[in-house]
């Protein structure tokens, strides 16, 4: 097996939490309303995600782990209007190069579920057929021994408990954003969930359940007027007010066009705005969901698709921070 594939895979999958992010996005793309995550050793020994989404057709199982296999691009023009999270068909392929991967899946049309094992982009053993197994509609993906053939990466990772914290962080962010979908996350083999969010729970309740009642009690609904000339059609979410006195910092949660992203210019601008309203040392909570003209967004900056660049970045960042300043200055202290 070519080392180059393994290295390329390592560019996409940096840690168990980045594999999980890709799999969560796949489950959401598949229309799941329930997503359950279980991990052993911070996801390094085992990372399992079960959803009740559309499932994968049996005929497609042979190829889902080949690079550039995606069911999400029908034609070239789709590239300009990507509404689903994934579109490159690289996530499962990558994972199969650096872990032991198995998929159990059932579509509503199938009378049973099908199971396949994968190695280095192909079914394993080579040319084997899917195996009939019992299972509900939806998909379970199990990743075992991540980076087993990538010792340098294994050595550079944090402890299992820190890797698990990163997993909880990713699940938390998706759970806040993705209303209509229920999430659980736990350590494999235990009964107690570390995260439980039911599908019908409101966004504010999601924030309360995950980040605590002190965050929730100081939350303000936040929304910014659309600015079509900058390609901004929506920006809304929740921010804490100036009474909020949490000392623990929670990195701001940004979703752009439904993708969990980081955006340093926006993060810095909002922090600066807060600095002139919040008592020193107080750490705000920020969750914002932006809808931008997809032709303005460059999601290709980095293979992990986290740090996003977009047109009119300065204008949009200024527009949002001005609104935050206005909202914060109107809060009764
Ligand atoms: P992409 O998401 O970019 O298409 P992935 O490697 O993440 O590529 O997934 C490859 C394909 O496998 C997807 O296009 C989809 O058809 C299928 N797939 C992966 N995960 C799921 C899932 N949880 N439910 C249904 N289909 C899935
Ligand atoms: Mg994907």
Say how many Å lie between the CA of residue 143 and the centre of ligand 2. 15
Sorted by sequence, the CB contacts under 8 Å of residue 313 that are 6+ apart come out as 265
Closest Cα to atom 14 of ligand 1: 70
Residue with tokens 């007027």: 225
Question: How confident is the model at residue 84, as a pLDDT?
Answer: 45
**Which residues partner with 98 through β-bridges?**
none
Closest Cα to atom 23 of ligand 1: 27
Q: Does domain 214-329 have CATH number 3.40.50.300?
A: no
Say how many Å lie between the CA of residue 173 and the centre of ligand 2. 17
Cβ–Cβ < 8 Å for 194, 185: yes
Q: Tens place of pLDDT for every residue, the chain, 333 residues?
A: 577 888 878 878 889 999 999 999 999 999 999 999 999 999 999 999 999 999 999 999 998 888 777 777 554 445 544 444 444 678 899 999 999 999 999 999 999 999 999 999 899 999 999 999 999 999 999 999 999 999 999 999 989 999 999 999 999 999 999 999 999 999 999 999 999 999 999 999 999 999 998 888 889 999 999 999 999 999 999 999 988 877 788 999 999 988 899 999 999 999 999 999 988 888 899 999 999 998 888 766 565 557 788 889 999 999 999 999 999 998 765
Instruction: Specify burial of residue 256 (Cβ count, 10 A radius: 0-12, 13-18, 19+).
Output: buried
Question: How confident is the model at residue 333, as a pLDDT?
Answer: 56
Closest Cα to atom 21 of ligand 1: 26
Could you tell me which CATH number the domain at 3-32+39-158 has? 3.30.565.10
Q: Indicate the SS3 state at residue 265.
A: helix
CA–CA separation, 169 vs 158, rounded Å? 15
Residues of the chain with CATH 3.30.565.10: 3-32+39-158
CA–CA separation, 22 vs 35, rounded Å? 13
Closest Cα to atom 13 of ligand 1: 70
Say how many Å lie between the CA of residue 165 and the centre of ligand 1. 25
Q: Hey, what are 30's tokens? A: 């598949």
Q: Hey, what are 66's tokens? A: 């080949």
Residues of the chain with CATH 3.30.230.10: 214-329
CA–CA separation, 147 vs 188, rounded Å? 19
- Find the helix or strand (DSSP H, E) in which 7 lies: helix 3-12
Kindly identify the ligand whose nearest atom is closest to the C-alpha of 72: 1
CA–CA separation, 116 vs 131, rounded Å? 7
**Which residues partner with 238 through β-bridges?**
221, 287
> Which among 63, 64, 84, 136 is the best mutation to test ligand 1's pocket, defined by most ligand atoms within 8 Å of the CB?
64
Residues in the chain: 333
Residues enclosing ligand 1, CB less than 6 A?
Answer: 22, 26-27, 30, 51, 53-56, 64, 69-72, 86-93, 139
Q: Hey, what are 49's tokens? A: 């995600």
């Amino acid at each position: 097996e070519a080392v180059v594939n393994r290295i390329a895979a390592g560019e996409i999958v940096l840690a168990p939490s980045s594999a999980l992010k890709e799999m969560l996005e796949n489950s959401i793309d598949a229309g799941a309303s329930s997503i359950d995550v279980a991990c052993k050793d911070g996801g390094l020994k085992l990372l399992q995600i079960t959803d009740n989404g559309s499932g994968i057709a049996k005929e497609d199982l042979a190829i889902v782990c080949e690079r550039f296999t995606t069911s999400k691009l029908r034609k070239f023009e789709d590239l300009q209007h990507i509404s689903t999270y994934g579109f490159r068909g690289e996530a499962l392929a990558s994972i199969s190069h650096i872990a032991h991967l198995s998929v159990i899946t059932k579509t509503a049309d199938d009378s049973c579920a099908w199971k396949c094992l994968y190695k280095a982009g192909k079914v394993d053993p080579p040319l084997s057929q899917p195996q009939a197994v019992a299972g509900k509609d939806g998909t379970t993906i199990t990743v075992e021994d991540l980076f087993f053939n990538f010792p340098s990466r294994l050595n550079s990772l944090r402890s299992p408990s820190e890797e698990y914290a990163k997993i909880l962080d990713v699940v938390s962010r998706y759970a806040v954003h993705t209303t209509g979908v229920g999430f659980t996350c736990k350590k494999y083999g235990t009964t107690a969930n570390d995260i439980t969010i039911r599908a019908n729970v409101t966004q504010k309740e999601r924030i309360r359940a995950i980040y605590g009642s002190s965050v929730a009690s100081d939350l303000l609904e936040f929304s910014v007027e659309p600015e079509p000339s900058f390609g901004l059609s929506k920006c809304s979410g929740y921010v804490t007010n100036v009474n909020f006195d949490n000392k623990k910092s929670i990195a701001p949660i940004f979703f752009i066009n439904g993708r969990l992203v980081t955006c340093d210019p926006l993060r810095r601008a909002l922090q600066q705005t807060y600095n002139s309203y919040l008592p020193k040392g107080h750490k705000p909570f920020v969750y914002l969901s932006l809808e931008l003209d997809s032709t303005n967004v460059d999601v290709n900056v980095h293979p992990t698709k986290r740090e996003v660049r977009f047109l009119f970045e300065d204008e949009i960042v200024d527009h949002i921070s001005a609104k935050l300043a206005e909202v914060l200055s109107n809060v009764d202290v």
